[in-house]
Amino acid sequence: MAEKISKKVNKKIEKLEKQIDELTTEKQELFEQLQRVSADYANFQKRAPKQIADSVAYEKKAVLRSLLPVVDNFEHALSHASDAQGEEGLDNIIKGIQLVFDHMLDALKAHGVKRIDALDQPFDPNLHEAMMRRSEPDKEDDTVLEVYQAGYMIGEQVLRPSKVIVNKIEEEKPAEETTEAAEEENDKQES
């Protein structure tokens, strides 16, 4: 009987040793996998800033390249400005500046930048920055009367809000209030 118990114990020991070996092998494989993942992550951390910097530099170059023709056009306009004489010369300079301006807007548009259309639009604090209010009764209240500085958007984000002058219609006071205010003013002057 002792022999039977001894065989059972030996089988159990063998089974446990085999299980220990399997677990040790699995632990070693997981440890090696963890080391590889850690090394990959460390390499990623080193690579990512360089890739971002390279990407930003590439985009910066693209933007600057699109602006170089505008600079060239300004240079041409300035070189011809000294030759301009009389009203026709002035008209040519103005046309040249308008062409350069249009070209600049096209270059911005190519990069997803668009101008905010503000004139005669309802005032929107997300798109406009009110510089002052003016009253024009023939226009609706809170309507943009004048654009002081154009605003621009890239996609749905505002790069710079439009600086505007907004219409504010003064509400007329009832006749009673106006009369009372006038009487108070007269009383003050008599005192």
Domains and CATH numbers, the chain: 1-111 (3.90.20.20), 114-191 (2.30.22.10)
User: Residue 190 — pLDDT band, cuts 50, 70, 90?
Assistant: low
Q: Quick check: 166 and 145 in contact, CB under 8 A?
A: yes
**CA–CA distance from 162 to each of 22, 136, 143 (Å)?**
70, 20, 13
List pLDDT tens digits, range 15-28.
Answer: 999 999 999 999 99
**CA–CA distance from 135 to each of 43, 128, 144 (Å)?**
63, 18, 11
Count the Cβ atoms, other than its own, within 10 Å of residue 161: 20
Q: CA 114, CA 116: separation in Å to the nearest integer? A: 7
**Which element (helix H / strand E) includes 153?**
strand 152-154
For residue 143, report the phi and psi dihedrals to the nearest 5 degrees: -105, 140
Phi-psi sector, 135: left (phi>0), alpha (psi -120 to 50), beta: beta
| Percentage, residues of the chain above pLDDT 70 | 87
Tell which residue, 99, 97, 108, has the closest CA to residue 152: 108
Q: Quick check: 142 and 167 in contact, CB under 8 A?
A: yes
List pLDDT tens digits, range 147-188.
Answer: 999 999 998 999 999 999 998 877 655 555 555 655 666 565
